[in-house]
């Protein structure tokens, strides 16, 4: 039976609500994590960007781009019911010219590089590390099935790999006042106003999307 994505009871989320309903900061995080429409919204955004990349053709020659998508099994949402039935792909293309065949993987608002969790989970849970008490972070991890080691790895990635990336080097000047690097990615969530609206989370994920691919130049824009 095919299960529609919307309107599912999310058991994991009701647990989340019970555990994390005090502070405002916790509320916006859990609301985004539980929002059943976010994955659909992000899928549409990714599909639009992928179509623009495809239409633009090969960046290295005059070749056309053919689909060579990757199957992904992203983790980190209390929505296992439909995930079992739903194939998730990351768009990617290959040039059709012999001697080139270069791969073009579009920037994504869903997948942060090769991380196996949904990108917004990597952002929100890593942000929560700076905002909530250890027992609550533990509860959040448990409800999303994220190991403590994984969250520590994300923290390392934000505080070291990300801040040294060419992307951040080029983008940091856009922020005034400057971003507090010690509390990444919470400081991004605050700078983008993610606590207020879903579209602000999307704006943050779009801002970050150039780091999700090595095959499209940083300066590429829609």
CB 93 within 8 A of CB 138: no
Least Cβ distance, residue 113 to Zn ion (angstroms): 23
Site for Zn ion in 99-128 (CB under 5 A): 100
Binding mask 39-58 for Zn ion (x = CB under 5 A): -------------------x
What are the backbone angles phi and psi of residue 37, rounded to the nearest 5°? -90, -15
Core vs surface per residue 10-41: b (16+ CB within 10 A) or e:
bebbeebbebbeeeebbebbbbbbbbbebbeb
Among 44, 60, 69, 182, binds Zn ion (CB under 5 A): 60
Least Cβ distance, residue 104 to Zn ion (angstroms): 9
Taking contact as CB under 5 A, which single stretch among the options 28-36, 39-47, 89-97, 157-165 is the one that binds Zn ion? 89-97
Q: Which is nearer to Zn ion, 101 or 138 (CB)?
A: 101
Residues 6+ apart with CB under 8 A from 184: 126, 158, 159, 162, 163
Among 8, 45, 61, 88, binds Zn ion (CB under 5 A): 61
Q: Which is nearer to Zn ion, 100 or 159 (CB)?
A: 100
Taking contact as CB under 5 A, which single stretch among the options 11-19, 43-51, 95-103, 175-183 is the one that binds Zn ion? 95-103
Rounded Cα distance between 166 and 172, Å, is: 10
Least Cβ distance, residue 53 to Zn ion (angstroms): 13
The answer to whether residue 159 forms part of the interface with Zn ion (CB under 5 A) is: no
Among 20, 65, 94, 95, binds Zn ion (CB under 5 A): 95
Least Cβ distance, residue 217 to Zn ion (angstroms): 14
Among 25, 30, 39, 63, binds Zn ion (CB under 5 A): 63
Residues near Zn ion (CB under 5 A): 58, 60-61, 63, 95, 97, 100
């Amino acid at each position: 039976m095919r299960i529609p994505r919307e309107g599912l009871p999310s058991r994991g989320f009701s647990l989340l609500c019970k555990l994390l309903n005090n502070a405002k900061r916790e509320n916006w995080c859990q609301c985004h994590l539980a929002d059943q429409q976010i994955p659909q919204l992000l899928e549409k955004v990714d599909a639009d960007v992928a179509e623009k990349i495809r239409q633009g053709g090969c960046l290295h020659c005059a070749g056309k781009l053919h689909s060579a998508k990757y199957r992904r099994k992203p983790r980190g949402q209390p929505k296992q019911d439909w995930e079992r039935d739903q194939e998730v792909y990351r768009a990617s293309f290959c040039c059709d010219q012999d001697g080139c065949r270069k791969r073009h993987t579009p920037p994504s608002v869903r997948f942060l590089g090769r991380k196996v969790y949904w990108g917004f989970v990597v952002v929100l849970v890593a942000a929560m590390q700076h905002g909530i008490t250890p027992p609550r972070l533990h509860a959040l991890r448990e409800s999303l099935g994220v190991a403590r080691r994984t969250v520590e790895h994300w923290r390392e990635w934000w505080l070291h790999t990300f801040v040294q990336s060419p992307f951040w080097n080029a983008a940091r000047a856009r922020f005034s006042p400057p971003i507090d690097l010690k509390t990444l990615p919470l400081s991004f969530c605050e700078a983008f106003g993610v606590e207020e609206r879903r579209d602000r989370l999307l704006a943050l994920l779009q801002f970050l999307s150039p780091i999700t691919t090595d095959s499209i130049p940083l300066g590429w824009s829609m």
